[in-house]
Structure 1
Amino acid sequence: MTTTITYVDFVDSIAAALQFISHHHPPDYIRHLSHAYSREASPPAKQAIAQILINSRMCAEGRRPICQDTGIVNIFVRVGMDVRLAGFPASVVDAANAGVRRAYLDPDNRLRASIVEDPLFSRRNTGDNTPAIVHVELVPGSVVTVDVMAKGGGSENKSKFAVLMPSDSVADWIVDMVPAMGAGWCPPGMLGIGIGGTAEKAMLLAKQSLTEPLDMLELKARGPRNDLEALRIAIHDRINALGIGAQGLGGLTTVLDVKIATYPTHAASMPVAVVPNCAATRHASFTLDGDGPAMLSTASPDLWPDLPMPDGIESRKVNLDTLTRKDISTWRAGETLLLSGRMLTGRDAAHKRIDDMLARGEPLPVDFRNRMIYYVGPVDPVRDEVVGPCGPTTSTRMDKFAARMLPATGLLGMVGKAERGPTAIDAIVGNGCVYLAATGGAAYLISKAVRSSRVLAFADLGMEAIYEFDVENLPVVVAVDSGGDSIHASGPRVWRIASA
């Protein structure tokens, strides 16, 4: 029996699924994250997990993005050989991109366009987040099944690959790789591991495995039934014993689950790929059977734990408008702050432009003296919003600019996510600055702390322009203090010992 799948149903279903996953975590992720929250003993990590859970529920209710990085879209399409595709003006890949375009330009929940068409030179943004990464497979059956995933750049950038010796330990290599990933992938999340095949096959296996439901809690409760499940548990437990914790701040949970997919390989080879998925885990699956577009159901509000909003009782309140270098010299790594007042924003493209201007001796369009700069590329606002979701981006990408920018501009400090490298820390210490970390995966919650927003410079860069935010009680943790102490070094060290 032949099933007819129309172009309209295909495009509508992909667009609806991408909109849905932009503001809905998978229920299995929420269950596992809630469990991690209940057992977390590290105060900074527990606060970060709480913010992610609160943000998750706010996004589901407000239908706004979980993360400002609404991802590069990955789509896996399996077309049954008894299916007739009707009305497709071009390829299945073109149809998938039509769905992506519609989803990301939806005026009720416009999503951030992050895709640049030329990866080497102009890096011009395509404006609609196309093209997606689309994989099409012809399989037996009379239905079309589709997995959609929106993969943030912070986690995608931390993917790892190696060809091991057949006698090597896969578990040892993976556990060694995780600290090298840093915290830019926004743990706690999950790891997709692909083993076998060839280089490209192993990477594809790892990516596809991230679309599977989290089941580590159930797996550990009943025990492994085969060697692969035992390996999953072993890698999961060994990674969490590293003490990296939520956002790399030190704690008991770094990964919520570990998925492993395998494929036959050459006798001389053992390709191994690792792809992490972040705290903004976003994916969904649907099936088209010829009976109209797919529908995804929302989760019950009871799924989320009832957590109070962060009250900041134990946090130091900071007035950014009167802040001095003497003030920040009293802050210590691991201390929590609530920021109020005006702060600047800027990320990769703005930093590159500023760096070029400084190198040429040109005046800058913004006065950075005694200011904080927030590494962020916000989502466009809708309705009555001041700004869309605006969580931090990975700070290590700005490390190479710190040595020139900090002394030349008079900045007091920076706000972002994840650790800073030695070059940036040296610049922080040498200039009496600080680095503060906001919670990756809490973008909508953070946006509610922004009272006003305006573009000050580089408007042509879109979401990478320099904005001025006026914030009230924006929660951060001192990640690197003016003496060079880093919570991303000390926190995991303490909790690794505690876990031993």
Structure 2
Amino acid sequence: MAGNFAQLFQLDDDQTSFRLLETQGSSSLVAGGRDFTLVPTQILTNLIRTAFSDVSHLFRSAHLQQLRSILDDPEASSNDRFVALELLKNAVISSEGMFPSCQDTGTAMVIGKKGESLLIDGDMHDSICDGISQTWQTRNLRFSQMAPLTMYEERNTGTNLPAQIEIEAVQGDRLDLLCIAKGGGSANKTFLFQETRRLLEPDRLLAFLDEKIRTLGTTACPPYHLAIVVGGLSADQTLKTVKLASTKALDHLPTTGDAYGGAFRDVELEQRVLALTQSMGLGAQFGGKYFCHDVRVIRLPRHGGSLPVGLGVGCSADRQIKARIDKQGAWLEALEIDPARFLPEASFDSTHAVRIELDCSMIAVREQLSALKVSTPVLLSGKMIVARDLVHAELAKRLASGEPLPPYFCNHPIYYAGPARTPKGFASGSFGPTTAARMDPYMSDFQAAGGALVTIAKGNRARNVVESCKRHAGFYLGSVGGTAAVLGRDCIREIETIDFQEFGMEAVFKIRVKDFPAFVVIDDKGNDFFSIAH
């Protein structure tokens, strides 16, 4: 049956600025009276390798301009400006090509559309995977993919493969790709809610979004690019649309609906939700206005008995890049190569930050912190211990069997992190904080045993951590998420593996830091910044 069927996603012409990578290698082919472009697999592999290399170190100019706008906004809090400046400094360091913008260099995702008149002369999937593998093997990136050996045992693949690859066949004579490096922190802040028609009332929908957005917290490194999708023909379509919206891939949708069920952006609701986020008080991680840079709200058609609602974020490591192959050659989105132009002429005044000396007893460290209010910025100098998920699980087993915690876990602050590969000539690679909440179940037992009395990571923590810190005179400090390159190059002066070497990047490290920026989030009196902000 012939007919005219409206596309679900009717996008206007893409105005992305591309740079030409290659012009040689492709050839023309005539078959069945039709013209085809034949592309060698090496062109595709080179394109993918360059795309993921660029996106690990560079940002879109629009994203950097949004950070600069925070510095220029008189309504921004001092903590908003502190975070924005650190993120801009991070972008400058990352652009030099040695330190990736985030230590969690992400899961590689390639989403695209291949025109029927463009042919890849070989296995497209293997060519894409080859490009991804080459990037992670040759750059200072971190392998993050875990292969399940059994239901309960895993091993790092050592290649950052497998990748998520989705290529749709369409009409035309070009291959369009969106390459995304998605970190675990922002991926974990993707949610699906199965609602009903009753939600589709203005006040009820806004109240619902207010409640759900607050649950995002700051563990995925705001300011966020927030994506909301209302509707969807299936749960998986809703969530995929959330991901695409967070990358700005759907910005050119219509802004009104039609009787055929076409997707559209609700720009008026976007502004209302953005204003809502600005009034929450969470700010750019530690209080203020800039919890979100912007908001995208996409409305999709739905089955009459189902109303899926999706919520997700793009984080401060805003890593996506468009790529294209056509008759003229291979093209790549032009990212910003001079992020320093977004820095203010005068450096931000951080003299209000309190300097904390770590190379003393833990009693003395806690006495310094006890004099400060939550949300106070601090600059840490001295030795810290790095330990995260695997180490916490192993130490919990030892503690349960009657063994004491190791002395290093009791005599130093504990930083939850895992480094990327170290560039030649430096003490450390990119080395930003990981999500604190994953270690929450261990805190009460560890602090009761005299360990982890000062912890450093990103994001909010559970109530049991607040209560444990009050009971045991402990503290939680929030590090600035999204500044892994700054921390790795400028703050971490020495690094030494001291335990669980077999855990790779999750081993126990002793590091020495200088002027490591953080904020007091939970104190020894039961105060929690995130509870106050709410």
Residue in structure 1 matched with residue 224 of structure 2 by the alignment:
189
CA distance in 1, matches of 2:265, 2:418: 43
Alignment match of 1:255 (pick from 292, 295, 300)? 292
1:391 aligns with 2:432: yes
**Residue type of the alignment partner of 1:57:** V
- In the alignment, the residues of structure 2 paired with residue 479 and residue 135 of structure 1 have an alpha-carbon distance, to the nearest angstrom, of 41
Aligned length: 478
| Aligned counterpart for 2:180 among listed residues 149, 173, 190 | 149
State the AA in 1 paired with 2:49: A
Matching residue within 56, 81, 96 for 2:91: 56
Q: Quick check: 356-365 or 303-312, which moved more?
A: 303-312
Does structure 1 residue 36 correspond to structure 2 residue 96? Answer: no
Q: Normalising to structure 2: TM-score of the pair?
A: 0.85
- Structure 1 residue matching 2:441: 3-state secondary structure: helix
2:151 and 2:226 mapped to 1: Cα distance? 29
**Contact 2:385/2:510 (<8 A) preserved:** yes
For residues 411 and 352 of structure 1, the distance between their equivalents in structure 2, rounded to whole angstroms, comes to 14
Distance in 2 between the 1:12 and 1:310 partners? 40
Distance 1:236 1:416 in 2: 27
Residues in 1 aligned to 2:290 and 2:323: alpha-carbon distance in whole angstroms: 30
SS of residue matched to 1:112: coil
Partner AA of 1:97 in structure 2: C
* Equivalent runs, 1:399-414 vs 2, <5 Å: 399-414=440-455
Determine if contact 1:329/1:482 at 8 Å carries over to the other structure. yes
Q: Is the 8 A contact 2:67 2:85 kept in 1?
A: no
Deviation at 1:2, TM superposition (A): 0.9
Aligned to 1:232: 270
Q: More deviation in 258-267 or 96-105?
A: 258-267
Aligned residues of 1:245 and 1:253 also touching (Cα < 8 A): yes
Q: 2:356 aligns with which of 310, 318, 324?
A: 318
Which of the residues 237, 240, 263 maps onto 1:201? 237
Amino acid of the structure 2 residue aligned with 1:103: T
Give unpaired runs (5+ residues) of structure 1. 220-225, 494-500
Which residue does 2:128 correspond to in 1? Answer: 96
CA distance in structure 2 between the aligned counterparts of 1:206 and 1:259, rounded to whole angstroms = 9
Which of 40, 43, 66 is 1:9 aligned to? 43
| Compared CA separation, residues 416 and 316, structure 1 to 2 (3 A) | same
- Describe the shift of the 1:405–1:310 C-alpha distance in structure 2 as closer, same or farther (beyond 3 A): farther
Q: Higher mean Cα deviation, 479-488 or 310-319?
A: 310-319
Provide closer, same or farther for how the CA distance between residues 79 and 262 of structure 1 changes in structure 2, counting only shifts above 3 A. farther
Moved over 6 A (4+): 213-216
Task: State the superposition RMSD in angstroms.
Answer: 2.2
Q: Which has the larger radius of gyration?
A: 2
Q: Distance in 2 between matches of 1:227 and 1:186?
A: 25
- What SS does the aligned partner of 1:104 have? helix
Written as runs of structure 1 = structure 2, the 5 A alignment for 1:45-194 is 45-88=80-123, 92-106=124-138, 109-118=139-148, 120-169=151-200, 170-194=205-229
CA distance in 2, matches of 1:410, 1:365: 9
Shift in alpha-carbon separation, 1:120–1:153, aligned structure 2, 3 A: farther
Aligned to 1:465: 507
Q: Deviations 1:346-379 (Å, cap 9, x if unpaired)?
A: 1111111111111112355553223101010111
Q: Deviations over 1:204-244 (max 9, x none)?
A: 1111122226989xx9xxxxxx9722122222222222222
Q: 1:71 to 1:227 in 2, by over 3 A?
A: closer
Give the drift of 1:95. Answer: 2.8
Q: Secondary structure at the match of 1:19?
A: helix
- Is the partner of 1:44 in helix, strand or coil? helix
Offset of 1:311 from its aligned partner? Answer: 5.9
Partners of 1:311 and 1:468 lie apart in 2 by: 30
Equivalent in 59, 69, 94 of residue 25 of structure 1: 59
Q: CA deviation at 1:261?
A: 3.4
Say which SS state the counterpart of residue 172 (structure 2) adopts. Answer: coil
Post-superposition shift, 1:393? 0.8
Percent of pairs identical after alignment? 27
Match of 2:342 in 1: 304
Structure 2: distance between partners of 1:201 and 1:246: 30
In the TM superposition, residue 292 of structure 1 has moved relative to its aligned partner by 4.4
1:321 Cα deviation (Å)? Answer: 1.1
Find the counterpart in structure 2 of residue 451 from structure 1. Answer: 493
Check the 8 A contact 1:342/1:470 in 2, yes or no: yes
Alignment-mate amino acid for residue 164 of structure 1: E
Segments of 5+ residues of structure 2 without an aligned counterpart are 1-34, 256-263
Aligned-partner Cα distance in 2 for 1:241–1:8:
50
CA offsets, 1:231-286, max 9 Å, x none? 22222222222222111x22111111222334322122221111111111110001
1:481 to 1:71, Cα distance in 2 relative to 1, 3 A: same
